[in-house]
Amino acid sequence: MMTPLRYLFLVLGILIGLHYILSFTHEEYGRATSISNIASGLRGSQPPYKYEAKPVSDYFDGNTTVHRKANAAFVVLARNNDLQNVIASMKQMEDRFNKKFDYPWVFLNEQPFSEDFIKRTTEVTASKTSYGLIPKEHWVQPEWIDEPKAAKARQKMLENKVIYGGSVPYRNMCRFNSGFFFKHELLKDVKYYWRVEPSVKFFCDIDYDPFLVMQDGNKVYGFTISLYEYESTIPTLWETTKEFIKENPQYLAEGNAMKFISDNGGEKYNRCHFWSNFEIGDLDFWRGEAYTKYFEHLDKIGGFYYERWGDAPVHSIGAALFAKKEQIHFFDDIGYRHEPFQHCPQGAAHSKGKCWCDPADNFDHHWYSCTSKYDKMFQ
């Protein structure tokens, strides 16, 4: 006669046996009940940049020719006197990535490029290069801006030592990057872009295609560094944004990244933004109705000139509100520096990328970084 304890052991034995049988015969059951999957569930969801990139061999055929590429280009906004610093950035990008993937370069300038600029940038790459003139109406301060009012604002910023506070060209650049670069003739048929600026550093080998990460994952915006904006440059930007949201609630994306830019559900802007000197993005997202209407609303207020609204907070707010949070991608394995901050990959990513940056010099967890807020959205 069996005791209750023996019945218990018998039932447990049967259940364990069934578990192992199902694990080996039903792949989905085995995956769902694995220790790693259960542990992952207990930890919560992980940031979407924690992916396993395809090996470089997956992009090439036997003749080392790329067999799958995105419709994409590098975009460089530069003047002729930036030439040497542009070449330094290009050379690193070519050596670390583009020699293998062969994406074209698009250069934009409000003045015609010199023959020397064209000659020397063409020599640095085997890829196609194009050179475009920015339309005057996309660059200069609009006639409808109240210049005495704008001049008074610039003078006040100068007195308060706000960086670029007295500069009209800087404001022109911010407005152009916020609302017009993606409309340029040379980019009209391009889907994805990678912004490259003069005098930046790329520390690591990139043996996969970030453009295909964007395309295959339905991403719209990619970054490496995030930080807080100077409050004195954007005193009314968030109130202007809230006015737009109130009038156009239909444009807010479900599951957006509001928690990255606000700590209280949108009542106030926490000033977090993605540092837009590095960005990989979907040009069609900026061309879309939601962002277009948003930029038009900002532009008519005049804050690019009456204050000093930058393209970084404008792009960041646009991406955070009009895209799902999973569509914003942290390229944590791309080592990058724009003075004075840098992102240096950590751990295995540092050795895998043959990075030459100091892992201890990494802005991600600096008190002025917002990357922890990005991570928290997925916890």
Question: Residue 72 has which token pair?
Answer: 């994409």
d(CA 344, CA 358): 7
Q: Read off the tokens for 114.
A: 């010199």
Closest by Cα among 369, 377, 316 to 344: 369
End-to-end CA distance of the chain: 53
Name 50's Cβ contacts closer than 8 Å, sequence gap at least 6: none
Among candidates 229, 223, 226, 221, which has minimal Cα distance to 364?
226
Quote the strand ranges of 218-278, DSSP E.
221-223, 226-228, 272-274
Assess whether 339 carries a catalytic annotation.
Answer: no
Minimal CA–CA distance to 147: which of 126, 171, 127? Answer: 171
Q: What is the DSSP string of 15-83?
A: HHHHHHHHHHH-HHHHHHTSHHHHHHHHH-PPPTT---PPPGGGGB-TTS-B----SEEEEEE--GGGH
Catalytic-labelled residue, pool 159, 279, 289, 296: 279
* CA 362/CA 346 separation, integer angstroms: 9
CB 89 within 8 A of CB 77: no
86 in Cβ contact with 198 (< 8 Å): yes
Identify the burial level of 79 via C-beta atoms within 10 angstroms of its C-beta, where 0-12 means exposed, 13-18 middle and 19 or more buried.
middle
Q: What is the arrangement of strands in the sheet containing 201-202, beginning at the earlier edge strand?
A: 201-202, 336-338, 341-343
With a CB cutoff of 8 Å and minimum separation 6, the contacts of 230 are: 162, 163
CA distance 340 to 91: 20
Whole-angstrom Cα distance, residue 343 to residue 363? 6
Residues carrying an active site annotation? 279
